[in-house]
Amino acid sequence: MTNTLTSTRLASLLERLFKQAAAASSPAIASISREERERLMHSKTEYLGFYSLLKDLWLPVSRETGVLLYMLARSSNASNIVEFGTSFGISTLHLAAALRDNGGGNLISSEFEPSKVVQARKHLDEGGLADLVEIREGDALMTLAVDLPASVDLLLLDGAKALYIDVLKLVEGRLRSGALIVADNADYSPDYLAHIRAPGSGYLSLPFGGDVEVSMWLG
């Protein structure tokens, strides 16, 4: 049985995008030492400048994580999804495909790099999923602080790692009981992991596939 994710239109698009992502490079980042990159990734004050340097890199979820996102959104019958970190839209396409197969819904995604927003919107148009997605351009601490759905079914954290816990707090009051939270590259956000795994935090959480953390809101 064919679904939106495995349709020729979207599958071929995603295959092309993953190849483009793998081939992308960034001279600006190559000139920064590994130690400095690590420091910037953990900074709560320099993230905008750091991720501006990453504008040529796609920073996508893995192919496996993309499928996981589709499966979680489908199996939970999600209709309202929030995404922190659109980049070029690979994860967005997986989540929007699930919304399409769930009968519709709304995906609010946030990306501060204007050039990435332009490309992500083109990819959503090409995949036939643009009608399900609202990309908010700007700092997620502002774009996701207002006008969220009353009930959020799934939250994807895949932007600046130092902000994971801050973005979670913005959305937490809207999470429905049983809502899922997926944090990509979660090992780069130890404070987030400590919070979400803590007894009494309101979450049930476990690592998945190396550096992905999958959690459920029990509130």
Beta bridge partners of 135: 109
Cβ-count burial of 217 within 10 angstroms (0-12 exposed, 13-18 middle, 19+ buried)? Answer: buried
Residues 194-208, mean pLDDT to the nearest whole number: 95
Range scoring the smallest mean pLDDT among 36-40, 88-92, 136-140, 171-175 = 36-40
Check residue 45 and give its pLDDT: 78
The model's pTM: 0.93
Check residue 32 and give its pLDDT: 79
pLDDT digits (tens, 9 = 90+) for 6-40: 999 999 999 999 999 999 887 777 777 878 777 87
Residues 35-50, mean pLDDT to the nearest whole number: 76
* 54 pLDDT higher than 80: no
* 50 pLDDT higher than 70: yes
Range scoring the smallest mean pLDDT among 38-47, 83-92, 172-181 = 38-47
**Residue whose C-alpha is closest to residue 81's, from 62, 67, 65, 100:** 100
Check residue 133 and give its pLDDT: 98
* 181 pLDDT higher than 90: yes
- For residues 61 and 45, give the distance between their C-alpha atoms in angstroms, rounded to a whole number: 24
What percent of the chain has pLDDT above 90? 79
* 211 pLDDT higher than 70: yes
**Residue whose C-alpha is closest to residue 26's, from 60, 47, 52, 62:** 52
**pLDDT band at residue 1 using 50, 70 and 90 as cut-offs:** low
pLDDT digits (tens, 9 = 90+) for 75-99: 999 999 999 999 999 999 999 999 9
Beta bridge partners of 8: none
**Per-residue CA distances from 60 to 3, 39, 56, 94, 177 (Å):** 22, 21, 12, 11, 28
Q: Assess contact for 81 and 73: CB atoms under 8 A.
A: yes
